[in-house]
Structure 1
Amino acid sequence: MDIRILLVEDDEHIGNTVKTFLIEAGYKVDVCIEGNEAYKKFYNQIYQLVILDIMLPGMNGHELLREFRKLNNTPILMLTALSDDENQIKAFDAEADDYVTKPFKIQLLLKRVGALLRRSGALAKEIRCSNLTLLPDDFRAHYRGVELPLTLKEFEILMLLVQNSGRTLSHEIILSRVWGYDYDGDGSTVHTHIKNLRAKLPENIIKTARGVGYRLEEDTL
């Protein structure tokens, strides 16, 4: 599975340097220099990690962090010149996963990126969530050791739900993350695929939040 990182940094020199080293390390990287653009990219694309500056034009890093956390649990590493305790506490209170201050050593940043990706399971050959085992490289899933006969879209939906276990994902988010922002469809597309996915799962682990969307409840696995 490709690891895609969203780098939000308005300093062109720092952004280009970090991007170069991340690409050399084998990651795919999207760069944004402005907060509002970063939000649109995050909403429309699945990322395994975000590297986020605080002082940005448009939405600042603290605002983006809060908005990102409303959407999912993607690991977020703050990369900023603001080294004071207040900003660090504010970031961790909003569920940032790490905080690196400028100036920084690029090799140390890469080590922190790798640690966050390992912790989140993004670098794993398989992802386990109680009785579910997902094999991202092969687009295969097993439940209690038995392979599930999933289509590609069904696997991608299940993967998205597993990555956001316990969080309700709206029809719009699922549609944009799985089918893409420009897909000409509606919530009925998601409903149909969820219905088919449930029929292939031995137990009803996908719960409906009426009028909102769906969530995977790990305690029911």
Structure 2
Amino acid sequence: MTIRILLVEDDEHICNTVKAFLSEAGYKVDACLDGDEAYTKFYENTYQLVILDIMLPGMNGHELLREFRKLSNIPILMLTALSDDENQIKAFDSEADDYVTKPFKIQILLKRVEALLRRSGALAKEIRCGKLTLFPEDYMAVYDDKELPLTLKEYEILLLLAQNRGRTLSHEMILSRVWGYDFDGDVSIVHTHIKNLRAKLPNNPIKTIRGVGYRWEEETE
């Protein structure tokens, strides 16, 4: 599975340098120079990690961090010139995963990125959730050693829920992430696919949050 990273940095030189090194390391990188563009890209795409500056045009890094955490629990690394305790505490209170201050060594940044991806399971060839195992490279799901007969969209929904287990995903977010932001249909298609998924899962871990969306709840072995 290709690891996709969102890089948000308003210094064009730093942005281009970091993007070049990340790309050379094999990651696919979307780079933004302002906060508003970053919010749009995050909402419209699926990423495995975010590198986020604080001082940005438009929405600042702290605002983006809070908004991103409403949508996903992927690793977020703050990359900023602000080294004071107040900004670091504020970032960690908003669930940032790491905090790197400028100037920085690019090789150390790459190692931190790799460590966060490894810890989150994004570098793993399989994702385990109780008796369910997902194989992202093969678009395959196995439950209790039996392959589930899923359609591509069913698999993508299941993977999205499993990667964000314990977090409620809205109907609109699932629609945007799986079908794309420019999809002309409505959220009823999400309800239909969730219903079909539940029929194929021997032990249904998908909980409905009435009026909001769905959440994957951990199973016990």
Short-chain TM bin: over 0.9
1:218 aligned counterpart, secondary structure: coil
C-alpha displacement at 1:36, in angstroms?
1.0
**2:26 partner letter:** G
In the aligned structure 1, how far is the partner of 2:49 from the partner of 2:182? 23
Q: What amino acid sits opposite 2:207 in the alignment?
A: K
**Separation in 1, partners of 2:165, 2:32:** 28
Calculate the aligned-residue CA RMSD, in Å: 0.9
Question: Take 1:220 and 1:189, find their aligned partners in 2: how far apart are those partners?
Answer: 30
For 1:162 and 1:108, the matched residues in 2 are separated by 30
Deviations 1:162-201 (A, max 9, x none): 0111111111000000011111111111011111111100
CA distance in 2, matches of 1:107, 1:130: 36
Structure 1 residue 163 and structure 2 residue 163: aligned?
yes
1:18, CA displacement in angstroms?
A: 0.1
- Asked if 1:144 is matched to 2:144, the reply is yes
User: Is structure 2 residue 63 aligned with structure 1 residue 63?
Assistant: yes
**Structure 1 residue ranges (4+ consecutive) displaced by more than 3 angstroms after TM superposition:** none
Q: How big is each residue's C-alpha offset from its partner over 1:110-155, in whole Å with a ceiling of 9 and x where there is no partner?
A: 0000000000111101011121110000000111221111111101
Superposition TM-score, scaled by structure 2 size = 0.98
Does residue 1:123 correspond to 2:151, yes or no?
Answer: no
What code does the residue aligned with 1:105 have?
K
Q: In the alignment, which residue of structure 2 is the partner of 1:213?
A: 213
Q: Give matches, 1:1-221, under 5 Å.
A: 1-219=1-219
Q: Distance in 2 between matches of 1:150 and 1:99?
A: 39
1:36-80 residue CA offsets vs partner (Å, 9 max, x unmatched):
111111011000000000000111001100110011101000000
In 1, Cα distance between the equivalents of 2:67 and 2:37? 13
The CA distance in 2 between the partners of 1:129 and 1:86, in whole Å, is 37
Q: Percent identity?
A: 81
Alignment gaps of 5+ in structure 1: none
Structure 2 residue runs without a partner (length 5+)? none
Aligned residues: 221
Per-residue CA deviation, residues 83-113 of structure 1 (Å, 9 max, x unaligned), is 1111111100100000000000000000000
Q: TM-score, normalised by structure 1?
A: 0.98
For residue 184 of structure 2, what is the amino acid of its counterpart?
D
Q: Is the 8 A contact 1:205 1:220 kept in 2?
A: no
Three-state SS of the structure 1 residue aligned to 2:79 is: strand
User: Partner letter of residue 29 of structure 2?
Assistant: V
State the 1:219 CA deviation: 4.0
